[in-house]
Amino acid sequence: MTPLLQVKDLHVEVEGKQILNGVNLEIKPGEIHALMGPNGSGKSTLSNALMGHPKYIVTKGTIHYQGEDITGLSADQRARKGMFLAFQYPTAIPGVSVTNFLRTVLKAVRGAEVAVKDFRKELKEKMELLEMRDSFAGRYVNDGFSGGEKKRLEILQMALMKPKLALLDETDSGLDIDALQVVSEGINRLRGPDIGMLVITHYQRLLNYVQPDVVHVLVAGRIAQSGGKELALELESKGYEWIEERQKAGAPA
**What is the pTM assigned to this prediction?**
0.91
Q: What is the pLDDT of residue 174?
A: 79
Q: What is the pLDDT of residue 67?
A: 96
Q: What is the pLDDT of residue 202?
A: 82
Tell me the pLDDT tens digit for each residue of 200-223.
998 788 898 999 999 999 999 999
Mean pLDDT for all residues in the chain: 91
Q: What is the pLDDT of residue 74?
A: 96
Q: What is the pLDDT of residue 249?
A: 63
Q: What is the pLDDT of residue 65?
A: 98
Q: What is the pLDDT of residue 181?
A: 87
- Where in the chain are the domains? 5-89+163-248
Per residue, the 3-state secondary structure of the chain, as one string, reads CCCCEEEEEEEEEECCEEEEEEEEEEECCCCEEEEECCCCCCHHHHHHHHHCCCCEEEEEEEEEECCEECCCCCHHHHHHCCEEEECCCCCCEEEEEHHHHHHHHHHHHHCCCCCHHHHHHHHHHHHHHCCCCHHHHHCEECCCCCHHHHHHHHHHHHHHHCCCEEEEECCCCCCCHHHHHHHHHHHHHHCECCEEEEEECCCHHHHHCCCCCEEEEEECCEEEEEECCHHHHHHHHHCCHHHHHHHHCCCCC
Q: What is the pLDDT of residue 56?
A: 97
Q: What is the pLDDT of residue 180?
A: 87
CATH superfamily of 5-89+163-248: P-loop containing nucleotide triphosphate hydrolases (3.40.50.300)
Q: What is the pLDDT of residue 251?
A: 58
Q: What is the pLDDT of residue 18?
A: 96
Which stretches of the chain score pLDDT less than 50?
none
**d(Cα 99, Cα 102) in Å, to the nearest integer?**
5
